[in-house]
C-alpha cells in the first residue's frame, strides 16, 4: 500500500480520467478527495464500494474562495494534504475555432480554469504541505502543448502555461520538500467517447506504440510522481503518449 | 515484488550507481546480470547475501562479440532478457581539457563505449524482447548533455547522442511493446567520492531541492521505467537532478 492513509486531492475528480487516478490511489490505501464543478458522487461510490475512503464536493477551481473552502475541508476531514493532482480542465466543452475568430470570454475561460485554477489549488494546498515539509503537486498538461493542436488556441496555450508554471513552482517550494511536476498525456479515448475512426487511425500511426491511449495509461506515471520514488525529480515534464512526441 | 523472476541486465554493473540499481531490483525479486569491464563480484556477493540471484562477467560493451557473449550467457542462465539498463560509461577516467586539445583517440573512446556500447547491448537483447513482445530498455544519459558542461566534449556529446538514439529506438521497437527511455541524472556524489565542497555547495544551490544528489535518488525512476507502470511511455527523457534543469 504505497499511499496508505495519504490525503490525495484530484480536481475534476468526477471525470473519467479523474476516476482512473482516484481508483489507482484508493487501491493503494489513499484517502481521496474529488472536487468537481459537476458531480463526482459516482466515483466516491465506486471507491466506497471497494472499501476505500473518498469524498467529493462542488468546487469551481477558478474561484479562490471555492478552492480554499475545498482544500480546508479536505485537510479537516483527512488531516492534511499530501498529494494534489491538478486534473480539472476546461476541455470537453470548449468552443472550437481558429484563433482569429475566438471570443475573449472563451479564451479567458480556458485560462481561468486551467491555469488560474491549478495555481489556486497549489496555493491553497501549499500551507498544509509546508507544515509537514513534504508534498507532491502534479499538474496535468497535454500533448497538444507539444504539437500545437489546432482550433483551440486557448486550451493549447493554457496547457503550455502549466509546463512553465510547474518549473517556477518547483523552485519556489523545493526548500519545503515539495515536488511539482507535469504530465502531458496524449489524446485519451476515454470509455464511451466517440472519435472519428480515420482521424484516430492517423493518431495511432504517429506513435511508437501504435494503439489507442486509454485512461489507465496515465495512472502509473501520476502515481510514480506522487510517490517517494520520485523525491529528487521536480519541475519536470513527463510525456505519456505512446511515443508520439519527444521533448527536449 | 514488481520484478519477480525478471531478467535484468545492468551494464557497468560493478559501479556504485549500478549497485544501487542492482540492490533495488534484487529486493523486488529480479535476477540480475552485472557485466562490467572491471569486476562486479562484490555486488554479486551483496545480492546473494541478501538471498537474491546475480551473476557477473567481464564484458567490453564497445565490442560486439563481447556483448553478444554476455547476452547469450544471460539468456542461458535466466531464460530471457526483460530489462536492459545501459549504465556502463566511459566517465570516471576521461581525459579533461578543451575540445581543441582533445585527441581523436580520446574522443572515439567515449563514443565507442557510451554510444556504440549502448546500441550494441540494445541490438543484442532486442531479439529476445521481440520474441516475448515486451521489454524495457533504459539508456542512462547525463544532465551534462542539457547543460553543455565544458572540458569533456566527448562525454557530453556521447550523452546527447543517447537522447536521440532512445527516440529512434523507441519508434523501431514500439510494435513489439518494447519501451526505450532515457534518464539524465545530475552530478551524483557516490559513496566515498571526493568533491570540492565549495563547488558542490554551488551545485546544490542551483537545484530546487538544494542538497547533494546520491545514488539512491535515481533508483525510483529507473525502476519506474522498468515496470509496467510506464508501459505507454517511450522515447522520453526523464531528468532526475533535484530540479536543476527543465527540459522542453
Q: Is B134 on the interface with A (CB under 8 A)?
A: no
pLDDT tens by residue, B44-90: 999 999 999 999 999 999 999 999 999 999 999 999 999 999 999 99
For residue B12, what are the contacts with CB-CB under 8 A and spacing of at least 6?
B18, B35, B36, B61, B87, B88, B89
**What are residue B55's DSSP bridge partners?**
B33
What does pTM read for this prediction?
Answer: 0.93
Q: Please name the residue ranges forming H helices in A36-152.
A: 41-49, 64-78, 104-110, 117-131, 144-147
Assess contact for B241 and A241: CB atoms under 8 A. no
Whose cell is 504530465? That residue is A183
Q: Do A242 and B239 touch (CB under 8 A)?
A: no
Does residue A152 have an active-site annotation?
no
Q: Is B223 on the interface with A (CB under 8 A)?
A: yes
- Among B175, B217, B237, the residue with its CB nearest the CB of A210 is B175
State the pLDDT confidence band at B29, using cuts at 50, 70 and 90: very high
pLDDT given for residue B96 in this prediction: 96
Which of 52-111 (B) contact A at CB < 8 A?
none
| Per-residue 3-state assignment (H helix, E strand, C coil) for chain A | CCCCCCEEEECCCCCHHHHHHHHHHHHCCCEEEEEECCCCHHHHHHHHHCCCEEEEEECCCCCHHHHHHHHHHHHHHHCCCCEEEECCCCCCCCCCCCHHHCCHHHHHHHHHHHHHHHHHHHHHHHHHHHHCCCEEEEEECCCHHHHCCCCCHHHHHHHHHHHHHHHHHHHHHHHHCEEEEEEEECCECCCCCCCCHHHHHHHHHCCCCCCCECCHHHHHHHHHHHCHHHCCCCCCEEEECCCCCCCC
A28's grid cell: 493503494
- Among B235, B243, B246, the residue with its CB nearest the CB of A246 is B235
The rounded mean pLDDT for chain B is 97
Pick from B240, B243, B247 the residue to mutate for testing the A interface (most A CBs within 10 Å).
B243
The Cα–Cα gap between B39 and B24 comes to 20
Q: How far is CA B13 from the centre of its chain?
A: 9
DSSP state of A95: P
- Among B218, B220, B232, the residue with its CB nearest the CB of A240 is B232
Distance from CA of A60 to the nearest CA of B (A): 30
Q: How far is CA B109 from the centre of its chain?
A: 17
Q: Which residues of B98-117 are buried (b: 16+ CB within 10 A; e: fewer)?
A: eeeebeeebbebbbbbbbbb
State the pLDDT confidence band at B248, using cuts at 50, 70 and 90: confident
Pick from B21, B227, B236 the residue to mutate for testing the A interface (most A CBs within 10 Å).
B236
Question: How would you list the strands of the sheet with A31-36, edge to edge?
Answer: A53-58, A31-36, A7-10, A83-86, A135-140, A178-185, A237-240
Q: Do B243 and A220 touch (CB under 8 A)?
A: no
Give me the phi and psi of B143, to 5 degrees please.
-75, -5
- Give ipTM to 2 decimals: 0.88
pLDDT given for residue B36 in this prediction: 98
Q: Do B230 and A221 touch (CB under 8 A)?
A: yes
Assess contact for A159 and B248: CB atoms under 8 A. no
Q: Is B247 on the interface with A (CB under 8 A)?
A: yes
CB pairs under 8 A between A and B: 130
Q: Do B229 and A220 touch (CB under 8 A)?
A: yes
Distance from CA of B141 to the nearest CA of A (A): 13
Q: Do A174 and B243 touch (CB under 8 A)?
A: yes
* Residue in chain A lying closest to B160 (CA): A248
- Among A213, A230, A237, the residue with its CB nearest the CB of B248 is A237
- Among A208, A231, A235, the residue with its CB nearest the CB of B171 is A208
Q: Is A233 on the interface with B (CB under 8 A)?
A: yes
Give the residues of chain A that fall short of pLDDT 70. none
Residues of A in contact with B233 (CB under 8 A): 221, 238-240, 243
The Cα–Cα gap between B146 and B149 comes to 8
Q: Do A174 and B246 touch (CB under 8 A)?
A: no
pLDDT tens by residue, B179-227: 999 999 999 999 999 999 999 999 999 999 999 999 999 999 999 999 9
State the pLDDT confidence band at B40, using cuts at 50, 70 and 90: very high
Distance from CA of A86 to the nearest CA of B (A): 19
Assess contact for B50 and B26: CB atoms under 8 A. yes
Q: Do B242 and A234 touch (CB under 8 A)?
A: yes
Element (H, E) at A56: strand A53-58
Assess contact for A139 and A82: CB atoms under 8 A. no
* Residue in chain B lying closest to A226 (CA): B220
pLDDT given for residue B60 in this prediction: 98
The Cα–Cα gap between B227 and B179 comes to 10
Amino acid at each position: 500500500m504505497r499511499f496508505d492513509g495519504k490525503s490525495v486531492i484530484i480536481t475534476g475528480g468526477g471525470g473519467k480520467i479523474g476516476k482512473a487516478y482516484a481508483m489507482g490511489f484508493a487501491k493503494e490505501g489513499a484517502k481521496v478527495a474529488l472536487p468537481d464543478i459537476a458531480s463526482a458522487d459516482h466515483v466516491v461510490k465506486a471507491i466506497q464500494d471497494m472499501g476505500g475512503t473518498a469524498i467529493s464536493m462542488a468546487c469551481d477551481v477558478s474561484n479562490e474562495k471555492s478552492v480554499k473552502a475545498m482544500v480546508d475541508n479536505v485537510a479537516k476531514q483527512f488531516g492534511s494534504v499530501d498529494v494534489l493532482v491538478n486534473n480539472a480542465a476546461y476541455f470537453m466543452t470548449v468552443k472550437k475555432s481558429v484563433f482569429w475568430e475566438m471570443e475573449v470570454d472563451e479564451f479567458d475561460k480556458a485560462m481561468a480554469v486551467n491555469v488560474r485554477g491549478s495555481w489556486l489549488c497549489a496555493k491553497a494546498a501549499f500551507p498544509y504541505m509546508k507544515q509537514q515539509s513534504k508534498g507532491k503537486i502534479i499538474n496535468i498538461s497535454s500533448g497538444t502543448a507539444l504539437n500545437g493542436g489546432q482550433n483551440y488556441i486557448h486550451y493549447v496555450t493554457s496547457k503550455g502555461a502549466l509546463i512553465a508554471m510547474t518549473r517556477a513552482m518547483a523552485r519556489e517550494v523545493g526548500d519545503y520538500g515539495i515536488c511539482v511536476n507535469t504530465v502531458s498525456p496524449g489524446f485519451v479515448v476515454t470509455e464511451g467517447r466517440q472519435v472519428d475512426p480515420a482521424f484516430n487511425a492517423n493518431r495511432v500511426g504517429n506513435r511508437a506504440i501504435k494503439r489507442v491511449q486509454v485512461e489507465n495509461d496515465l495512472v502509473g506515471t501520476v502515481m510514480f510522481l506522487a510517490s517517494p520514488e520520485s523525491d529528487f525529480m521536480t519541475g519536470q515534464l513527463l510525456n505519456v503518449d505512446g511515443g508520439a512526441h519527444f521533448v527536449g | 515484488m514488481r520484478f519477480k523472476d525478471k531478467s535484468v541486465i545492468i551494464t557497468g554493473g560493478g559501479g556504485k550507481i549500478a549497485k544501487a540499481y542492482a540492490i533495488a531490483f534484487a529486493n523486488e525479486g529480479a535476477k540480475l546480470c552485472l557485466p562490467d569491464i572491471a569486476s562486479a563480484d562484490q555486488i554479486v556477493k551483496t545480492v546473494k547475501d541478501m538471498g537474491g540471484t546475480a551473476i557477473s562477467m567481464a564484458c567490453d560493451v564497445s565490442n560486439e562479440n563481447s556483448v553478444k557473449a554476455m547476452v547469450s550467457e544471460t539468456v542461458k542462465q535466466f531464460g530471457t532478457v526483460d530489462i536492459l539498463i545501459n549504465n556502463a560509461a566511459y566517465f570516471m577516467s576521461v581525459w579533461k581539457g578543451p575540445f581543441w586539445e582533445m585527441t581523436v583517440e580520446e574522443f572515439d573512446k567515449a563514443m565507442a563505449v557510451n554510444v556504440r556500447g549502448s546500441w550494441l547491448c540494445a541490438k543484442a537483447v532486442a531479439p529476445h524482447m521481440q520474441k516475448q513482445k515486451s521489454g524495457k530498455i533504459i539508456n542512462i544519459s547525463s544532465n551534462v548533455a542539457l547543460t553543455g558542461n565544458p572540458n569533456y566534449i566527448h562525454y557530453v556529446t556521447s550523452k546527447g547522442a543517447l537522447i536521440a538514439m532512445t527516440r529512434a529506438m523507441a519508434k523501431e521497437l514500439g510494435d513489439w511493446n518494447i519501451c526505450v527511455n532515457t534518464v539524465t541524472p545530475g552530478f551524483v556524489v557516490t559513496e566515498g567520492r571526493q568533491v570540492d565542497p565549495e563547488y558542490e555547495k554551488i551545485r546544490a544551490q542551483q537545484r530546487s531541492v538544494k542538497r547533494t544528489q546520491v545514488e539512491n535518488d535515481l533508483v525510483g525512476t529507473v525502476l519506474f521505467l522498468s515496470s509496467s507502470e510506464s508501459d505507454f511511455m517511450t522515447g522520453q527523457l526523464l531528468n532526475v537532478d533535484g530540479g536543476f534543469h527543465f527540459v522542453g
